[in-house]
Amino acid sequence: MSRLGSIVRDGDIVSGALLAALGTYIISRASTWDYMTANGPGPGFFPLWYGICIVALSLALVGHALFKGISETHEPIDWRGVGRAIVTWLAFVIATALMPFLGFVIAFTLLCLCLIHIVFRQPLLRAIVASVAITAVFKLIFVVLLQLDLPIGPLGI
């Protein structure tokens, strides 16, 4: 196989390149929002730094893969791990899409429930208790301590 073919097949290089593109997109969008406001960090502060970190780490991943050399022997793909990663991303996408309609509390609780019960394979009761507790802590930190507004759903929570 040619060197270019090996590079294209290397998961670290492909995922690093895709993540670098995502980070660049996040930076471009975040740079249009206020970085700082009179009350402190604005809505562009966190996404900008998050995008910068994504780009830096993804480029480090690509660089590491290029400098270590492409291995011709590939380990078998862990399809269970791939499935769990896909479920995690889908859960994030669905929770993000539902948040304006259900509100933070319900959407985030459902996200946690999905991750804990499906991805981490914990019993349903334990997943429910942990999801509610995690959501309560997030709400305490962001709404009570930091006095930030989170999306409110139809139930007023």
36 forms beta bridges with 41
* pLDDT confidence tier of residue 61, bands split at 50, 70 and 90: very high
Would you say residue 23 has pLDDT above 70? yes
pLDDT in tens, 68-95: 765 566 677 788 988 999 999 999 999 9
Dihedral sign, Cα of residue 30, residue 33, residue 37, residue 39: negative
Would you say residue 103 has pLDDT above 80? yes
| pLDDT value for 154 | 84
> What are the distances in angstroms from CA 123 to CA 36, 95, 112, 119?
43, 21, 13, 11
Would you say residue 7 has pLDDT above 70? no
What is the overall mean pLDDT for the chain? 89
Measured N-to-C along each axis, helices 104-114 and 124-139 cross at an angle, to the nearest 10 degrees, of: 140
Instruction: State the DSSP string of 72-99.
Output: SS-PPP-HHHHHHHHHHHHHHHHHHHHH
40 forms beta bridges with 37
Q: Mean per-residue pLDDT for 132-156?
A: 92
Would you say residue 138 has pLDDT above 90? yes
Would you say residue 3 has pLDDT above 90? no
* pLDDT confidence tier of residue 111, bands split at 50, 70 and 90: very high
Q: Mean per-residue pLDDT for 12-25?
A: 91
Specify the length of the chain in residues.
Answer: 157
| pLDDT value for 71 | 58
The whole-angstrom separation of Cα 156 and Cα 150 is 11
Would you say residue 5 has pLDDT above 90? no
End-to-end CA distance of the chain: 57
The whole-angstrom separation of Cα 32 and Cα 131 is 34
